[in-house]
Amino acid sequence: MPRPPAPTAAPAPPVAETLGLGPKLLRYLGGSVVATVCSEVTFVLLYGPVHVGTTSASLVGWLAGAVPNYWLNRRWAWQRTGRPSFRTELLPYITIVLMTLLLATGITHLLDVWLHHLGTQASLRVALVAVAYLGVYALMFVLRFVLLDRLFERVARLEARHHHARTEAAS
């Protein structure tokens, strides 16, 4: 008696279709708020009371936010679990968030130099540079969401194709 053909799994729909854009954006906002608070507090403490330069404060502040941002948004917004692929997931993420680091570092440095040149009082300078640092993150919020959404959709499609190919090979 001939065997019926093995059922084939349909490729997973893009991440945006399965999660819905509104709820995903809200989850992304939640993860980004946590990461931004970590980043901003670290930057302000280093740049203000500790008197670290803007470049070092931006770098450490970025790192303080980038790590929780990745894990929170990967899990919450895009509901991804399991071990991430360095090539298809981590490397593109690092590239995307490095844009924010470069922008934050450049803007805070230029503003700090300009405010020093003007002779701005230290406490006002710290406040203005901190607002500029936060402003970069606010401006990059939407761009990062769009880029990360595309990244995680692409990863989901690649995984679905890989799973489909394994299923086909096993039958």
What is the spatial distance between Cα 132 and Cα 115, in angstroms, rounded to a whole number? 12
- pLDDT of 113 reads 97
* Cα within 13 Å of Cα(117), Cβ side: 6
Q: Check if the beta carbon of residue 11 is closer than 8 Å to that of residue 30.
A: no
CA 1 from chain centre, in angstroms, equals 55
What are the tokens at 136? 């970069």
Q: Check if the beta carbon of residue 28 is closer than 8 Å to that of residue 76.
A: yes
Nearest-CA neighbor of 87 among 36, 12, 155, 134?
Answer: 155
Nearest-CA neighbor of 154 among 87, 72, 109, 102?
Answer: 87
What is the spatial distance between Cα 74 and Cα 77, in angstroms, rounded to a whole number? 6
Q: What is the pLDDT of residues 40-82, one digit of tens each?
A: 999 999 999 999 999 999 999 999 999 999 999 889 888 888 8
pTM of the predicted model as reported, rounded to 2 decimal places: 0.74
CA 22 from chain centre, in angstroms, equals 18
Give the H or E element holding residue 120.
none
Q: Quick one: pLDDT band at residue 5, thresholds 50, 70, 90?
A: very low
Q: What is the pLDDT of residues 89-130, one digit of tens each?
A: 889 889 888 999 999 999 999 999 999 999 999 999 999 999
**Domain edges within the chain:** 16-170
